[in-house]
Amino acid sequence: MISSVFLHDVAEYTDSRVAKVVLNGSYAITNFQVKQVTDDTLALNYIVPAADISLITRIEVKDAADVVLTSNDVNVPIASDTLMLQTIKAKEGTT
């Protein structure tokens, strides 16, 4: 079993690596309303302006060197400026 202290450390490390969220492969967001670690979870809250994006089909979290840390295919229509709440949880894997 992995200790909660180590899982917190992994979440903190992930926080230190995250530089931006890229939507649909081209729209980068670097300004986060919230970017913080609580226990084993990194919370990323950011605004998606409806004037720039009408539909999100892919969300990528990248580091400063543009390396993809996480990616998700989604289908999120944006009708008005939208606050996105995204979490990355550090947890022990099972086999």
Per-residue model confidence as pLDDT tens for the chain (95 residues): 899 999 999 999 999 999 999 999 999 999 999 999 999 999 999 999 999 999 999 999 999 999 999 999 999 999 999 999 999 999 998 87
With a threshold of 0.85, does the pTM exceed it? yes
Whether 45 is in a domain gets the answer yes
The count of domains in the chain is: 1
Tokens of 94: 């099972």
Whether 37 is in a domain gets the answer yes
- DSSP 3-state assignment of 7? helix
Whether 83 is in a domain gets the answer yes
Q: Which residue carries 């086999």 as its tokens?
A: 95
Whether residue 62 contacts residue 19, with contact meaning beta carbons closer than 8 Å, is answered with yes
Whether 94 is in a domain gets the answer no
> What is the predicted pLDDT for the residue at 93?
87
Whether 95 is in a domain gets the answer no
Report the C-alpha gap between 2 and 59 in whole angstroms.
29
Domain region containing 77: 4-89
Whether 56 is in a domain gets the answer yes
